[in-house]
Chain A
Amino acid sequence: MTKSTSLLLLSALGLHAAEPPVPAKIEFNRDVRPILSDNCFYCHGNDPKHREADLRLDIREEALSAKAFIPGKGAESELVSRILTTDEDDLMPPPDSHKKLTPQQKEILKKWIDQGAAYQQHWAYEKPVRAAVPAGKNGVDVLVQKRLAEVGLKPSPQADPRTLIRRLYLDLIGLPPKPEEVAAFERDHSPAAYAKIVDGLLKNPHFGERMAIGWLDVVRFADTIGYHSDNPHNVWPYRDYVIRAFNSNKRFDRFTIEQIAGDLLPDASQETRVASAFNRLLLTTEEGGAQAKDYEQRMLTDRVRAVGNAWLGQTTGCSQCHDHKFDPWTQRDFYSLGAFFADIKEPILGRREPGMLVLDEAGQKKQADIAQRLAALQADFAKARPELAAGQTAWEKQALEAVNSSSLWQPLKQVTAASAKKNVAIKADKEGVVRGTIDAKRNERKQNDGTDTYTLTAKLPAGTTGIRIEALKEKLRGIGLASNGNFVLSEIALSSGGKKQSGKITVSHASATYEQKTFPASASIDGIKDQKNNGWGVLGGTGADQALYLELAEPLAEANTSVTFTLTFGWGDNHEMANLRLSTTSAPKPIRAPGTALPSAEIAAILKTAPEKRTAAQKGQLASAYKQIAPELRELRSKIATVEKEKADFENSAPKCIVSVSDTNKRTVRILPRGNWMDESGEVVKASLPGYLPKPKIEGRDLNRLDLAQWLVSKDNPLTARTVMNRLWKQFFGIGLSKVLDDLGAQGEPPVNPALLDWLACEFMDSGWDIQHMIRIIVDSATYQQVSTSTKELTAADPYNRECARQSPFRLDAELVRDNALTISGLLVPKIGGPSVKPYQPAKYWENLNFPTREWQNDSGEGLYRRGLYTWWQRTFLQPSLLAFDAPSREECVAERNRSNIPQQALVLLNDPTYVEAARTFAARVLSECTGDIAQRITWAFEQVLQRKPSAEELKTLTSLYDKQFADYQKDVASAEALLKTGAAAVPAALNKSELAAWTHVTRVLLNLHETITRS
Chain B
Amino acid sequence: MSTFSPLTRRAILGHTAQGLGSVALASLLQPQLLRAASQGVLGRLPLPQKAKRVIWLTMAGGPSQLELFDYKPKLAEMDGKPMPESFTKGQQLAQLQGQKLVCKGPMFSFQKYGRCQMELSELLPHIGSAADDICLVRSMTTEAINHDPAHMFMNTGAQIAGRPSMGAWVTYGLGSEADDLPGFVVMMSTGKGRNPQPIAARQWSSGFLPSKFQGVQLRSLGDPVLYLTSPNGVTRERQGRDFAAINSLNKQHAALCDDPEIATRIAHYEMAFQMQASVPELMDISGEGAKTLELYGCQPGDGSFASNCLLARRLAERGTRFIQLYHRDWDHHSLLREELPLRAKEVDRACAALIKDLKQRGMFDDTLIVFSGEFGRTPMAQGNKGPVGRDHHNKAMSMWLAGAGVQRGVTFGSTDDLGYAAQENITTVHDLHATMLHQLGIQHDAFSFKFQGLDARLSGVEGAKVIKKILA
Contacts and interface: CB of A to CB of B under 8 A. Distances in A.
Q: Are A and B part of the same complex?
A: yes
Interface of A: 1, 6-7, 9-18, 96, 98, 226-230, 283, 285, 287-291, 294, 315, 317-318, 326-327, 678, 730, 734-736, 739-743, 745-748, 788-790, 792, 795-796, 799-801, 808-811, 842-845, 847-851, 875-878, 880-881, 883-884, 886, 889, 891-892, 896, 898-908, 910-913, 916, 951, 953-954, 957-958, 961, 964-965, 968, 974-982, 997, 1001, 1004-1005, 1008-1011, 1014, 1016
A125 B450 CA distance: 22
Interface in B260-300: 261-262, 264-265, 268-269, 271-273, 275-276
Nearest 5 A-B pairs (CB), nearest first?
A747-B453, A289-B94, A979-B233, A876-B200, A978-B233
Residue among B10, B97, B198, B216 having the largest count of chain A Cβ atoms under 10 Å: B198
24 contacts: A9-B30, A228-B197, A287-B146, A291-B94, A739-B17, A740-B453, A748-B453, A792-B5, A795-B10, A801-B10, A842-B227, A850-B197, A850-B198, A884-B226, A899-B14, A901-B14, A901-B268, A902-B212, A902-B268, A953-B252, A968-B237, A982-B232, A1001-B238, A1001-B242
A1004 B238 CA distance: 12
Contact of A12 (B3, B90, B453): B3
Contact of B275 (A734, A847, A907): A907
A889 B201 contact: yes
A734 B15 contact: yes
A844 B222 CA distance: 8
Interface stretch (B31-39, B111-119, B130-138, B353-361): B31-39
B313 to A, nearest CB: 23
B162 A892 contact: yes
Contacts of A964: 241
B15 A13 contact: no
B196 interface: yes
A1008 B1 CA distance: 34
Given A740-B17, A743-B453, A957-B252, A15 B228 contact: no
B413 interface: no
B231 A899 contact: no
Contacts of B18: 739-740, 896
A29 B2 CA distance: 28
B221 interface: yes
Nearest to A982: B231
Nearest to B175: A6
Interface stretch (B69-77, B120-128, B243-251, B432-440): B243-251
Residue among A13, A880, A977 having the largest count of chain B Cβ atoms under 10 Å: A13
Contacts of A843: 221-222
B230 A290 contact: no
A10 B264 contact: no
Contact of B211 (A742, A800, A850, A898): A898
A906 B268 contact: yes
A916 B4 CA distance: 40
A1016 B16 contact: no
Contacts of B314: none
Contact of B265 (A883, A899, A901, A976): A901
A977 B250 contact: no
B97 A9 contact: no
B310 interface: no
Contacts of A230: 198, 200
Contacts of A904: 216, 225-227, 272
Given A290-B94, A809-B257, A889 B2 contact: no
Nearest to B35: A1
Interface of B: 1-7, 9-10, 13-18, 21-23, 25-27, 29-30, 32-33, 36, 39, 43-44, 90, 92, 94-95, 97, 145-149, 160-162, 188, 195-202, 205, 210-212, 216, 219, 221-223, 225-235, 237-239, 241-242, 245-246, 248-250, 252-254, 257-259, 261-262, 264-265, 268-269, 271-273, 275-276, 328, 391-392, 443, 445-446, 448, 450, 452-454
Secondary structure at the A interface, as helix, strand, loop or mixed, is loop
Given A16-B1, A844-B221, A957-B245, A735 B6 contact: no
A976 B242 contact: no
A904 B454 CA distance: 30
A1001 B149 CA distance: 46
B262 A1010 contact: yes
Given A16-B1, A736-B17, 13 more contacts: A1-B33, A7-B44, A13-B4, A96-B445, A228-B197, A747-B454, A792-B7, A847-B221, A878-B201, A896-B17, A907-B227, A910-B242, A979-B231
Contact of B268 (A1, A880, A903, A965): A903
A10 B39 contact: yes
B198 A10 contact: no
A290 to B, nearest CB: 5
A800 B161 CA distance: 30
A678 B90 contact: yes
A285 B145 CA distance: 13
Contacts of B23: 10, 13-15
Contacts of A288: 94-95
B233 A850 contact: no
Given A10-B26, A844-B219, A809 B261 contact: yes
Contacts of A979: 231-234
Nearest to B210: A900
Contact of A795 (B1, B7, B254, B276): B7
Contact of A17 (B1, B160, B253): B1
Contact of A981 (B26, B36, B232): B232
B161 A799 contact: no
A974 B200 CA distance: 40
B419 to A, nearest CB: 19
B162 A891 contact: yes
A21 B40 CA distance: 30
Contacts of B276: 907
Nearest to A324: B453
B80 to A, nearest CB: 23
Given A230-B198, A876-B200, A982-B232, A15 B223 contact: no
Contact of B253 (A792, A795, A903, A1011): A1011
Contacts of B197: 228, 850
Given A289-B146, A289-B392, A899-B16, A6 B33 contact: yes
Nearest to A744: B453
A248 to B, nearest CB: 31
A900 B226 CA distance: 18
B25 A1008 contact: no
Contact of B250 (A734, A908, A1009): A1009
Contacts of A891: 161-162, 202
A845 B226 contact: yes
B94 A735 contact: no
Contacts of A886: 211
Contacts of B328: 848
A1 B269 contact: no
Contacts of A745: 453
B17 A907 contact: no
Contacts of A811: 261
A892 B148 contact: no
A796 B199 CA distance: 47
Contacts of B226: 842, 845, 880, 884, 904, 907
A902 B226 CA distance: 14
Contact of A1010 (B7, B228, B253, B446): B253
B445 A17 contact: no
Nearest to A305: B160
B33 A902 contact: no
B22 A1009 contact: no
B44 A326 contact: no
B242 A1005 contact: yes
B231 A735 contact: no
A854 B158 CA distance: 28
B143 to A, nearest CB: 10
A815 to B, nearest CB: 16
Contact of A911 (B95, B162, B227, B269): B227
